[in-house]
Amino acid sequence: MSRTRTIFVVIIGVALMAILAGVAVFLLSSPRQTTGPAATPDSTDPVPVSIVTALSVEPWVGEAAKQCNAENHTLDGHPIQVSVIGMDGLAAMGRYEREEMDPLPTAWIPDSRYLVELVNATYKTKLGRDVFLTDGEYRARPIAISLFAWGIYQSRATVLDEAYGEIDWRTSHDAAIAPGGWREIGGSGEWGYFKLIVPHPRKNIGGLAAMISAAGEYYDKPDISVEDVTAPDFQKWLNELMGSVSDYSSLGAYPGENLALFGYSAGDGGQRLESALLINMAGSMNRWEPLRVTYPTYVTWFDFPFTIWIGPETTAIEKNAALEFQKYLLSTEVQEQAISYGLRPVSGQITVDQPGSPFVEWQDNGVTPIVERATAMRNPDRDVLLALLRWFDLNIDQ
């Protein structure tokens, strides 16, 4: 490079440095904006609260979330933005335990408290600490309750009453194994064979709850063990009972809704959540016929606990925002809204026997605002669940 070119390059470099220095001085000496979003970019950022919710309460919780978001609730100046993801309790339990919840939800509303306890036990073994709490401010708290009840088409229920007496699992079993089907029992030959309604236990926790309920009635006790469900006599009886389900896949994740849509082809009756029976009662009556509702001797309760993840994967403000939405769901207004979804409020100050309530509207169909039968099925442990699911895989789902 010639001397002249070298001098030229040096001059250009010095000039560029001078320009950059001038710009820096200008920026440093300019007054800074002290108001508005740019000054405090985090002050109005929404706090996301994602909640995986049992399918049975997802419509109610989802609508409450929309209402809460529209009301612009805030926490420490931050808007709370709630999103709801519907997922069956057993499916959610499996995804938690396989660490497949990605992104990890802020909270979980499963069908029953025992699912929370099982997931927490798994993580406590892995991590040496709790991820869900049973006491304190962040403890799992029920937000609504429902129970398993028999829902059977009125025409079929009348025949079963006359043939067997009270409708229960033993009645369903005897009807299922009748060689001549409904004609032998006393019904119409056009009805074919008795068809039990039980959702797929791998796809809907109601299917698993039905098998546990059947075992409780078979043994006449509310606490079921692995020894009970693996006994050959019981498994033979259960196989005959479950074999009367016409098509597990047709019932899907929403058996009550599909029953109202497809009628007798989906089944004649079975134990399902009372809330599902109530919200589909009108559809069943309009398309087919009324459903008769009766309550079992051993009642299976679902308490839908609002459960906040307390691990470091979510921030403190996200946990507290989830707690605010929990309080919102427990407010009087939102608890009263739960009734229209066929759910029983957890607030003792709110009764279901009020004008417009489905519990009142369908009393003539057997719906009972106050369930007097107090014997509750106890929650199964993991070994019982796995034993029943394994039995189903080997004997029914083939």
Q: What is the C-alpha separation between 386 and 21, in angstroms, rounded? A: 72
Token pair 């809330």 is found at 275
Mean pLDDT, the chain cut into blocks of 10 residues (398 residues total): 43 45 39 32 79 96 97 93 95 94 94 93 92 91 94 93 91 93 92 89 88 94 95 95 78 62 80 91 84 91 95 94 97 95 92 90 92 83 92 82
User: What secondary structure does DSSP assign to 147-173, as a single string?
Assistant: EEEEEEEHHHHHHHHHHHSS-SHHHHH
One DSSP character per residue, 318-380 reads: HHHHHHHHHHHHTSHHHHHHHHTTTPEES-TT--S-STT-HHHHTGGGT--SS-----BPPPP
Q: How far apart are CA 90 and CA 359, in angstroms?
A: 28
Cα 277 from Cα 290, distance rounded (Å): 11
pLDDT tens-digit map of 5-44: 444 443 444 444 544 444 343 333 333 333 333 233 356 7
Token representation of residue 352: 């279901």
Could you tell me the pTM of the whole model?
0.83
CA distance 266 to 393: 21
Domains identified in the chain and CATH numbers: 47-143+304-330 (3.40.190.10), 146-301+365-395 (3.40.190.10)
Determine the pLDDT at residue 102.
87
Backbone angles phi, psi at 138, to 5 degrees: -95, 15
Spatial contact of 273 and 150, defined as CB atoms under 8 Å apart: no
Q: For residue 193, what are the β-bridge partners?
A: none
pLDDT of residue 264: 75
Start-end of H helices in the chain: 3-29, 58-70, 89-97, 113-127, 154-164, 169-176, 181-185, 205-219, 226-229, 232-242, 248-251, 255-262, 274-279, 281-287, 316-329, 332-339, 358-361, 382-395
CA distance 173 to 2: 104
- Predicted local distance difference test score (pLDDT) of residue 191: 93
Please tell me what DSSP assigns to residue 52.
E
Strand, helix or coil for residue 264: helix
Return the pLDDT at 395.
85
End-to-end C-alpha distance for the chain, whole angstroms = 84
Q: Helix axis angle, 232-242 relative to 205-219, nearest 10°?
A: 130
